[in-house]
């Protein structure tokens, strides 16, 4: 195994310095925490202060925790419960809604069914993908209904409730991103109906040291495609974030928080001022791990173009305008 590797991102290949399994402190050795109670304050100067912390986190790390996010605890617990029940179904039941039988990337991905890192042998997780639930109408690029397991219809309600909470929270975060970029707080409002959200229930079985191999991780090194991801994790540690010196930093689960990270689409909007940081997950704990990432982006008809506030003489636009739907669909096609 060489010490460096190349990770394919939505914005081109990126060389990473360290391909080792070890965790070490590097240029950032911890992930900042954002207190969202300031973002919910009626005082604009509180919201601006929160946006400044977000700016620091996005330009320096690309990852941050959020606390005081206002998502009711029971909605999160019930969604994790639905995930556990789903993954306990037989493979035969789960394969009835196999993601590759769907034209719009909804349904089940079995173990090793996905290969986040093209150099890897497949990811050691299984997943269930859910999107905005609207009947086929209009010409949106990712239109379509969700696919629920016939044998477990009860999961629809808690999963949908969680999805709707994430849309609410995501819209709030978009306002904070706008403020942090010196835009009107409402700048993204008309572009984020929630239809550009993708949610995944994930299950990572434990990996023992004997079968641990750099070509087969829980999820291989990658960047996310959308604007940002809101991740709920249980209390089992697995997520690691790559810093600029090539070292992996653990995003240890913290009670009452979500982990948020910048994705490739936001990197484009911001001319790479905001970092779409590479990350991976390895579950070496000996117990099962469950997580729920929610990838939030602008509606698929939106044009993603470098924001004026992120361009200067010394920093000309690095990216051409691109249609959000085409961009995301292309990335999903590369993964599945």
Which positions lie near ligand AKG, rule CB under 6 A? 200, 202, 219, 224, 231, 233, 238-239, 279, 281, 291, 293
What's the closest the beta carbon of residue 220 comes to ligand AKG, in angstroms?
10
Report the partner that residue 192 touches, choosing among Fe ion, ligand AKG, none (CB closer than 5 to 8 A by kind): none
What's the closest the beta carbon of residue 200 comes to ligand AKG, in angstroms?
6
Q: Which stretch binds Fe ion (CB under 5 A): 64-72, 133-141, 202-210, 216-224?
A: 216-224
CA distance 326 to 331: 9
Report the partner that residue 231 touches, choosing among ligand AKG, Fe ion, none (CB closer than 5 to 8 A by kind): ligand AKG
φ and ψ of 329, to 5 deg: -65, -40
What's the closest the beta carbon of residue 279 comes to Fe ion, in angstroms?
6
For the CA atoms of the chain, what is the radius of gyration?
Answer: 19
Choose between 41 and 237: whose C-beta lies nearer to ligand AKG. 237
Q: Two tokens at 35?
A: 């207190």
What's the closest the beta carbon of residue 71 comes to ligand AKG, in angstroms?
17
Site size with Fe ion, rule: CB under 5 A:
1
Choose between 149 and 293: whose C-beta lies nearer to ligand AKG. 293
Choose between 47 and 222: whose C-beta lies nearer to ligand AKG. 222
What's the closest the beta carbon of residue 235 comes to Fe ion, in angstroms?
19
- Return the SS3 of 263: coil
What's the closest the beta carbon of residue 295 comes to Fe ion, in angstroms?
8
Report the partner that residue 281 touches, choosing among ligand AKG, Fe ion, none (CB closer than 5 to 8 A by kind): ligand AKG
Q: Two tokens at 157?
A: 């309600």
Report the partner that residue 197 touches, choosing among ligand AKG, Fe ion, none (CB closer than 5 to 8 A by kind): none
What's the closest the beta carbon of residue 292 comes to ligand AKG, in angstroms?
8
Whole-Å CA distances, 149 to 93, 94, 290, 296, 327: 7, 7, 18, 24, 29
Choose between 28 and 63: whose C-beta lies nearer to Fe ion. 63
Choose between 112 and 152: whose C-beta lies nearer to Fe ion. 112
What's the closest the beta carbon of residue 154 comes to Fe ion, in angstroms?
28
Determine if 143 is a binding residue for Fe ion (CB under 5 A).
no
Choose between 175 and 233: whose C-beta lies nearer to Fe ion. 233
Give 272's DSSP letter.
T
How deeply is 171 buried, as exposed, middle or buried, from its count of CB atoms within 10 A (0-12, 13-18, 19+)?
Answer: middle
CA distance 273 to 88: 42
CA distance 173 to 169: 6
Report the partner that residue 302 touches, choosing among Fe ion, ligand AKG, none (CB closer than 5 to 8 A by kind): none
Q: Which of residues 9-48 bind Fe ion (CB under 5 A)?
A: none
Among the listed residues 73, 86, 114, 182, the one whose alpha carbon sits nearest the alpha carbon of residue 335? 114
Choose between 54 and 278: whose C-beta lies nearer to ligand AKG. 278
Look up tokens 């986040």; give the residue.
116
What's the closest the beta carbon of residue 262 comes to ligand AKG, in angstroms?
12
Choose between 50 and 281: whose C-beta lies nearer to Fe ion. 281
Whole-Å CA distances, 93 to 4, 141, 193, 203, 302: 40, 28, 32, 16, 37
Q: Are 219 and 239 in contact (CB under 8 A)?
A: no
Q: Which of residues 220-239 bind Fe ion (CB under 5 A)?
A: 224
- Return the SS3 of 260: strand
Q: Which residue is nearest to Fe ion (CB)?
A: 224
| Residues with Cβ within 8 Å of residue 193, at least 6 apart in sequence | 132, 299
| Residues with Cβ within 8 Å of residue 333, at least 6 apart in sequence | none
Task: Return residues touching Fe ion (CB under 5 A).
Answer: 224
């Amino acid at each position: 195994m060489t010490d460096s590797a190349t990770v394919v991102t939505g914005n081109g290949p990126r060389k990473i310095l360290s391909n080792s399994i070890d965790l070490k402190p590097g240029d950032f050795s911890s992930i900042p925490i954002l207190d969202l109670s300031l973002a919910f304050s009626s005082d604009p100067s509180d919201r601006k202060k929160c946006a400044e912390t977000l700016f620091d986190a996005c330009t320096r790390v690309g990852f941050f925790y959020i606390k005081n996010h206002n998502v009711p605890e029971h909605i999160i617990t019930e969604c994790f419960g639905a995930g556990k029940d789903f993954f306990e179904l037989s493979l035969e039941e789960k394969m009835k809604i196999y993601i590759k039988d769907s034209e719009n990337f909804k349904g089940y991905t079995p173990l090793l069914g996905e290969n986040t890192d093209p150099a890897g042998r497949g990811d050691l997780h299984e997943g269930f993908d859910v999107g905005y639930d609207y009947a086929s109408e209009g010409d949106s690029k990712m239109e379509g209904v969700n696919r629920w397991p016939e044998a477990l219809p009860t999961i629809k309600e808690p999963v949908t409730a969680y999805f709707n909470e994430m849309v609410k929270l995501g819209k709030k975060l978009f306002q904070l991103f706008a403020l942090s970029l010196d835009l009107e707080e409402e700048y993204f409002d008309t572009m984020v109906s929630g239809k550009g959200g993708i949610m995944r229930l994930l299950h990572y079985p434990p990996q023992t040291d004997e079968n641990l191999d750099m070509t087969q991780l829980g999820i291989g090194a990658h960047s996310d495609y959308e604007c940002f991801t809101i991740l709920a994790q249980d209390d089992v540690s697995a997520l690691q974030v790559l810093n600029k010196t090539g070292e992996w930093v653990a995003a240890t689960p913290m009670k009452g928080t979500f982990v948020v990270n910048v994705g490739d689409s936001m990197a484009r909007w911001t001319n790479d001022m905001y970092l779409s940081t590479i990350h991976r997950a390895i579950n070496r704990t000996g117990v099962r791990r469950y997580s729920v990432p929610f990838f939030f982006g602008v509606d698929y008809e939106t044009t993603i173009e470098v924001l004026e506030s992120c361009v200067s003489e010394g920093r000309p636009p690095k990216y051409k305008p691109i249609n959000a739907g085409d961009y995301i669909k292309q990335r999903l096609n590369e993964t599945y």
